[in-house]
Amino acid sequence: MKNLLGSVALALTIIVTLGTPSAADKLKVGFIYVGPIGDHGWSYQHDQGRLAVEKELGDKVETVFVEKVAYGPDAERAITRLARQNAGLIFTTSFGFMKPTLKVAEKFPKVKFEHATGYKRSKNVASYNARFYEGRYINGQIAAKMSKSGIAGYIASFPIPEVVMGINSFILGAQTINPDFKLKVVWVNSWFDPGKEADAAKVLIGQGADILTQHTDSTAAMQIANEKGVYAFGQASDMIKFGPKAQLTAIINNWAPYYIERTKAVLNGNWKSVASWKGLTAGTVKMAAYTNMPEDVAKMAADTEAKITNGTLHPFAGPIYKQDGTLAVPAGKNIDDGPLLGMNWYVKGVDGQLPK
């Protein structure tokens, strides 16, 4: 009987405590991830950005995150949940969250939203992305130098513009060193599937690729590359832990500067909806240390990185020909952002057809 009363009292206390609104001193910043932060790839890097915000602004903000949020109604609910918990700023970190973010933003006009890799904005929804293709160009150059077979394997997720521009940038970079460089692409139709990515890696190696690169989120391919003695590029994070002998470099998504900047904007009250697409220049894209390669290749890579960073080199500088021979970008010009965002064609030199 005493225990029963005790439990009831405990339950009531809990109800009362949880029902009380929390102190509104700190700005609550929420993060919605599509994958696990343990993917050591895409979602992991967003979480690193979150941790950086906490470190920098810990006295003024508190952060909360939800991982492994599925697309669809569940996403809308997860975002709504954070908004209802009085989050002032919410980052939704995957393309598929675009619609749910816009919907929830309408219902919570005072909350600010930042959506990654999308193309729609509204009064309180900003969008942001990073120019990963800049890193791909450097990767391509390194690949052409380091490959003995002249064939690279590309483990791709879905044929969306984001991924296609990465493929094109890679081959363009490679072609500056070796005009006949070949690229084999396998579509695993998933952002994150270590088993499939491992299989794709093995198959590509078997078909002669001695350099692997990926636009998927796990470290499986890097592990396979390390085992089989070929080279690979890390994706989204530094994957050297998984491929100490294999990793040449990695494209690191460095969201910290952008996240801190936007959080500060909300704190200062001058947040506005923008479409941000920064790259090496702003530090949103970083390259991991150039390892497992001779001095001269590392120097070339660093040079290219410097040139892209200071704007003298654009990966998509004309003349660029499409696979079907038409001229996409004339000589002397750089590609505009528009055609990049809608890119649905391969550059001349890529084997195979783009899935329609």
Partner 1 sequence: MILLLERRTAPSATLTFLSPILAIGITAIIGGIIFSALGLDPFKVLYLYFVEPLTSLWSIEEVIVKAAPLILIGVGLSVCFSANVWNIGAEGQLTVGALFGSAIPVYFTGWQSPSVLILMLMLGAVGGAVFAAIPALLKTRFNANEILTSLMLVYVAQLLLDWMVRGPWRDPQGYNFPQSVPFEGWQLLPTLGDGRVHVGALLAVVAAIILFFMMNQSLRGFEIRVIGSAPRAGAFAGFEEKRVIWFCFLLSGALAGLAGLCEVAGPSGQLQPTISPGYGFTAIIVAFLGRLNPVGVIFAGILLAISYLGGEAVQVEFNISNKSAQVFQGILLFLILACDTLIHYRIKIGASVVKLR
Partner 2 sequence: MYAAEAVILTIITASTPLLLAAIGELVTERAGVLNLGVEGMMIMGAVCGFIAAFLSGSAMFGVLAGLSAGVAMSMIFAFLTQTLMTSQMATGLALTLFGLGLSGLIGESFTGQPGVKLAALAMPSLSTIPFLGPVLFGHDILVYLSLGLTAAVAYVLFRTRLGLIIIAVGGNHHSAHALGYNVIRVRYACIAFGGACSGLAGTYLSLAYTSQWIENMSAGRGWIALALVVFATWMPKRVLIGAYLFGTVWIMGLYVQGLGVPIPSQLLSSLPYLVTIAALIIISGNRMITKVNTPACIGQPFSPER
95 contacts partner 1 (rule: CB under 8 A) = yes
**Residue 135 DSSP class:** H
28, 30, 34, 40: residue in contact with partner 2 (rule CB under 8 A): 40
352 contacts partner 2 (rule: CB under 8 A) = yes
193, 275, 307, 317: residue in contact with partner 2 (rule CB under 8 A): 193
203 contacts partner 2 (rule: CB under 8 A) = yes
159 contacts partner 1 (rule: CB under 8 A) = yes
What pairing do the DSSP bridges indicate for beta strands 87-92 and 112-116? parallel
- Whose structure tokens read 């509104």? 24
Pull the structure tokens for residue 63.
């952060």
Q: In the bound complex, what is the minimum distance in angstroms from residue 224's beta carbon to partner 2?
A: 8
- Please identify, using beta-carbon distances, which residue of 225 and 298 lies nearer to partner 2: 225
Q: In the bound complex, what is the minimum distance in angstroms from residue 163's beta carbon to partner 1?
A: 10
- Whose structure tokens read 């952060």? 63
**3-state helix, strand and coil shares in percent for the chain, rounded to the nearest 5:** 40, 20, 35
64-84: b (≥16 Cβ within 10 Å) or e: ebebebeeeeebbebbbebbe
- Please identify, using beta-carbon distances, which residue of 65 and 271 lies nearer to partner 1: 65
- Candidates 44, 101, 75; CA nearest to 255 is 44
Residues sharing a CB contact under 8 Å with residue 90, sequence separation 6 or more, in sequence order:
29, 30, 31, 32, 79, 82, 83, 101, 111, 112, 113, 114
- Please identify, using beta-carbon distances, which residue of 96 and 257 lies nearer to partner 1: 96
Q: In the bound complex, what is the minimum distance in angstroms from residue 152's beta carbon to partner 2?
A: 12
Count, residues in the chain: 356
Q: In the bound complex, what is the minimum distance in angstroms from residue 151's beta carbon to partner 2?
A: 10
280 binds, among partner 2, partner 1, none (CB under 5 to 8 A by kind): none
Residues sharing a CB contact under 8 Å with residue 300, sequence separation 6 or more, in sequence order:
141, 142, 145
Provide the binding-site residues for partner 1, judged by CB under 8 A: 7, 10-11, 14-15, 18-19, 64-68, 70-74, 76-78, 80-82, 84-85, 95-96, 99, 119, 158-161, 164, 189, 341-344, 355-356
Residues that bind partner 2 (CB under 8 A): 36-40, 44, 68, 153, 184-189, 192-196, 198-200, 202-208, 218-220, 223, 227-228, 241-242, 351-353, 355
